Amino acid sequence: MTQSIKITGGVPLKGEVRVSGAKNAATKELVACLLTSEKVTLMNVPDIGDVSVTIDMLRGLGVSIEREGDRVTVDASTLTSPEVTEAFSRKNRIPILLFGPLLSRFGTAIIPALGGCKIGARPVDFHLTALQQMGTDIVCEDGVYRASIEGGRLHGAVIELAYPSVGATENVMLAAVLAKGTTMIRNAAIEPEIKDLAMLLQSMGAIIQLDVNQTWIIEGVESLHGATHRVIPDRIEAASFAVASVLTKGDVLIRGAVQDHMISFLNALRRIGGDFEMTSEGIRVFRVGEIKPSTVETDVYPGFATDWQQPFLILLTQADGVSIVHETVYESRFGYTDALNAMGANITIHTNCLGAKACRFSYRNHPHSAVVVGPTPLKAAKIEIPDLRAGFSYLVAALIAKGTSTITGVDLINRGYERIVEKLKGLGAEIEEVQ
Ligand code: EPU
């Protein structure tokens, strides 16, 4: 097991790297496979910690899963248990998505509390309220949710989300495909990973469509069947490599990166002095001139994703002037900046909304805006990773820091990035794993 990663900064990244399948699509799609007793095959499934945890969790429910390279075949005809054991509590955000499949298959579901990165309170009230609207009776005792269906089958409902939550949208979708009647999800999330989930469900026999104004409409069917589906490339990983290329004055072809999924990111990159070229194989990213300061506001899709914020902020530490990052998705996602300041960055965190618009965290004392003053040379450090996306941003910071950095807590990066050390090494980075 890797104990730490050592990186010596100063090498421009050059060459090609292939983006893996998207973590936030693959994990949900594994859950969707439980909606049928027929086999479902997923291709381009990344070999990462969150996928392994999800596979183990589904196996714990009796599901048979075979993995061959990036192809995973799920046979949920052997699903025997409606109870996700405590062993999977607080490991990631996936267990709560099992409500729909387990309720549809057994009429009951027992699911432990959630985990995932510590980047805010991350409540699940939208999920629970929506499932209740669809006829689920849910109680929470000692950190365990016990759910059952009033009347034998979930029923369709008009769900109006208070915020376009990714997880809540997926949860309702997974419950609605086999529910009686039609479900409408208004103010829903429409991230590419959710569209990918919808496409898998459609391939499995669901009737599901994206309507105008961020609305999903799902007409429940009696049963779903087997399918084969290819998971979309990971736009968060793609953006992370793009940042690393621009930051190190490199030139990297990011194979498999999809322009359509990254429009906001690519605009932001161009504004600060990065550039790119679309090729038939992916996106080639490089630097033109010095990095310019900018203002970035995270948002739900199609806005600038909150998971792009951390690597992008490292770029801003090298911009000549004052930049602002307004985080509007999570109320507390700047904890990782202390370590960057210790490396020489000049980042201050503020509770005011410092973006173009006031967000829902306005006047609530959440540390959700960052002012970055640059350019600041970074020096190597020993850093402990606090969460997945911050983890990649530390790797990126170390790539330009003077000296050799040691980064611990690597398991958190392995949760979401496949063969990251090998990929960076392939681009010429001076990086090694310490066992
Ligand atoms: N929220 C509520 N109540 C709810 C659900 C969400 O208040 O019931 C709030 C959250 O607290 C947060 C906001 O709504 O402030 C957005 O949360 P959302 O539900 O959209 O996030 P999620 O489904 O828990 C997924 C990704 C995150 C990504 C977000 C936003 C997965 C497993 N996780 O989380 O990815 O940042 O959507 O795009 O899909 C990551 O990959 O590192 C990661 C954190």
3-state class (DSSP) for residue 3: coil
**Cα separations (Å) of 184 from 137, 191, 210?**
20, 17, 10
91/111 Cα distance (integer angstroms): 13
389 ligand 1 Cβ < 6 A: yes
Q: Is 126 in the pocket of ligand 1 (CB under 6 A)?
A: yes
Model confidence at 258: pLDDT above 70: yes
- Centre of ligand 1 from the C-alpha of residue 279, in Å: 32
Contacts for 62-68: CB closer than 8 Å, 24+ residues apart? 63/33, 63/34, 65/30
pLDDT at residue 156 is higher than 80: yes
Q: Is the CB of residue 125 below 6 angstroms from any atom belonging to ligand 1?
A: yes
With a 6 A CB cut-off, is 309 part of the ligand 1 pocket? no
Nearest ligand 1 atom to the CA of 307 is 36
* pTM tops 0.85, yes or no: yes
What integer best gives the mean pLDDT of the chain?
Answer: 95
117 in contact with ligand 1, CB cutoff 6 A: yes
| Whether residue 143 has pLDDT greater than 70 | yes
* Token pair listed for 153: 């089958």
**Residue 165 near ligand 1, beta carbon < 6 Å:** yes
Task: Tell me: pLDDT of 120 over 90.
Answer: no
Q: Any idea which of 42-46, 147-151, 255-259, 429-433 has the lowest mean pLDDT?
A: 147-151
Domain extents in the chain: 4-20+233-434, 23-230
Confidence (pLDDT) at 205: 98
CA-nearest residue for atom 35, ligand 1, is 307
Q: How does DSSP classify residue 204?
A: T
How confident is the model over 356-383, as pLDDT tens digits?
A: 889 999 999 999 999 999 999 999 999 9
Q: Is 53 left (phi over 0), alpha (psi -120 to 50) or beta?
A: alpha
pLDDT grade, residue 119 (50/70/90)?
low
DSSP code per residue over 344-412: T--EEEESS--SSS--TTTTTT---EEEEEE----B--EEE--SHHHHHHHHHHHHHSBSEEEEE-HHH
Q: Which pLDDT band, with edges at 50, 70 and 90, does 327 fall under?
A: very high
Q: Which residue has the tokens 């027992």?
A: 110
Structure token digits, residue 345 = 């960055």
Predicted confidence band of residue 121 (pLDDT cuts 50, 70, 90) = low
pLDDT at 229: 98
Q: Which of 33, 117, 353, 359 is catalytic?
A: 117
Give 236 Cα–ligand 1 centroid separation in angstroms: 14
- Whether the pLDDT of residue 90 is over 80: the answer is no
Reported confidence tier of residue 113, pLDDT bands at 50, 70, 90? confident
Q: Is the pLDDT of residue 93 over 90?
A: no
Domains 4-20+233-434 and 23-230 share a fold: yes
**Residue 297 Cα, ligand 1 centroid: separation in angstroms?**
16
Known active-site residue 353: no
Q: Token pair of 336, please?
A: 């990782």
User: 24 CA to middle of ligand 1, Å?
Assistant: 10
Ligand 1 pocket, residue 166 CB under 6 Å: yes
Q: Using alpha carbons, list the distances in angstroms from residue 169 to 7, 145, 154.
A: 39, 19, 16
Pocket test for ligand 1, best of 140, 163, 231 (most atoms within 8 A of CB): 163
Using pLDDT thresholds of 50, 70 and 90, give the confidence band for residue 142: confident
pLDDT above 90: residue 85: no
In 123-262, alpha helices (H) = 125-133, 166-176, 192-203, 235-247
Residue 168, ligand 1, Cβ within 6 A? yes
Ligand 1 atom with minimal separation from the 122 CA: 11
Distance CA 239, CA 285 (A): 10
Q: Which range (11-15, 393-397, 411-415) has the least confidence?
A: 411-415
- The confidence band for 140, taking pLDDT boundaries of 50, 70 and 90, is confident
Cα-to-centroid distance, 223 and ligand 1 (Å): 29
Kindly tell me if the per-residue pLDDT of 151 is higher than 80: no
Give the position, in ligand 1's atom list, of the atom nearest the Cα of 24: 39
pLDDT value, residue 104: 95
If you average pLDDT over residues 391-414, what whole number do you get? 95
Sheet holding 382-384, edge to edge: 382-384, 404-408, 4-8, 430-434
| 105 pLDDT more than 60 | yes
**CA dihedral sign, ordered 246, 247, 250, 253:** negative
At 3 the pLDDT is 85
Element holding 39 (H helix, E strand): strand 39-43
From the list 237, 270, 235, the residue with the least C-alpha distance to 395 is 237
Return the pLDDT at 116: 54
Q: Report the share of the chain in percent with pLDDT over 70.
A: 97
> Is the minimum distance from the CB of 211 to ligand 1 under 6 angstroms?
no
> pLDDT band for position 86 (50/70/90)?
confident
> Which of the pair, 405 or 114, is modelled with greater confidence?
405
Span from the CA of 116 to the centroid of ligand 1 (angstroms): 10
- State mean pLDDT over 47-51: 96
- Residue nearest atom 29 in ligand 1 by C-alpha distance: 166
Beta 14-18 vs 39-43: how paired, if at all?
Answer: unpaired
Topology classification of domain 23-230:
UDP-n-acetylglucosamine1-carboxyvinyl-transferase; Chain (3.65.10)
396 vs 415: CA distance, rounded Å:
17
To which residue do tokens 């955000």 refer?
93
- Binned at pLDDT 50, 70 and 90, residue 88 comes out as confident
Task: Point out the ligand 1 atom lying closest to the alpha carbon of residue 330.
Answer: 15
Q: What is the DSSP letter of 191?
A: -
CB 50 within 8 A of CB 23: yes
For 199, phi then psi, to 5°, come to -70, -40
5 near 421, Cβ under 8 Å? yes
CATH topology for 4-20+233-434 is UDP-n-acetylglucosamine1-carboxyvinyl-transferase; Chain (3.65.10)
